[in-house]
Amino acid sequence: MCKTRFILALLLSLTVSQVHAGDVKREADVAETINKTLSYGKQVWLEAGPTKFLALYAETEKPASNGTVILLHDLGGHPDQQAVIYQLRRLLPAYNWATLSLQLPLRELGAGAEDYYPLFPEALARLQAGIKYAKDNGAKNIAVVGYGLGALQAVYAQSEQPADIKAIVAISLPVPETNSQTAQTIAFIKNIKIPVLDVYGALDLPDVTESARDRRLVTKENTDYRQLAINDEGHQYLHDEGLLGKRVVSWLAKIK
């Protein structure tokens, strides 16, 4: 009887670990595709615990940089995700900010946001590895720019374990209706004391636009919090002709 219970417990633990694990094969496929198509910056492989993961690093166009911006992609994306991450990765170095775009943990194709919330602690570890890489390469100022799910992961990480960064730019930050402790956006941003730019499209997803007022109210004690809506833009920012990037660049210039 005891042996039977042990086997059942073991099977249950394996099932739980699989549920909370990322899709390693999918990450490998993404890395292989990027390796074949990369035309800007260079690939670097970072380590978070036992996990090696891909990042894309782009240097500034001048010898002395303002610092490094770490980019966190959206749901199911990758370090060169169109259109937002792709554009920022190329724009920021022209304004003297190096970029380090991280591959965040992936789930299987078709997985929803709820499936990703258990992976947030691993995303935090990857962000910490990215910060270390930036520091080891001489960055004095480090900012984090997250997009969509990446924005939620950024505020989760800073609330959970504050890092030595100057600021967070949260693009299209969602406030999901969930009981998951890793996705409590309002509680996270209330705890953050560093400068935060909360920018979203006026036609963005409902859990972004409908929570904008709540985000403003809960951060009113942070005098370095700013919220900005970009008119006539949706979640993909397909029509702004670089306006989003320019807003990010001009705001970063104030927080160095």
| Tens-digit pLDDT string for the chain (256 aa) | 443 343 333 233 333 333 457 999 999 999 999 999 999 999 999 999 999 999 999 999 888 789 999 999 999 999 999 999 999 999 999 999 999 999 999 999 999 999 999 999 999 999 999 999 999 999 999 999 999 999 999 999 999 999 999 999 999 999 999 999 999 999 999 999 999 999 999 999 999 999 999 999 999 999 999 999 999 999 999 987 789 999 999 999 998 7
- Return the pLDDT at 255: 83
- Return the pLDDT at 11: 34
- Return the pLDDT at 54: 98
Structural domains of the chain in order of their starting residue, each with its CATH number = 23-252 (3.40.50.1820)
| 3-state per-residue secondary structure call for the chain | CHHHHHHHHHHHHHHHHHHCCCCHHHHHHHHHHHHHHCCCCEEEEEEECCEEEEEEEECCCCCCCCEEEEEECCCCCCCCCCCHHHHHHHHHHHCCEEEEEECCCCCCCCCCHHHHHHHHHHHHHHHHHHHHHHHHCCCCCEEEEEECHHHHHHHHHHHHCCCCCCEEEEECCCCCCCCCCCCCHHHHHHHCCCCEEEEEECCCCHHHHCCHHHHHHHCCCCCCEEEEEECCCCCCCCCCCCHHHHHHHHHHCCCC
- Return the pLDDT at 135: 97
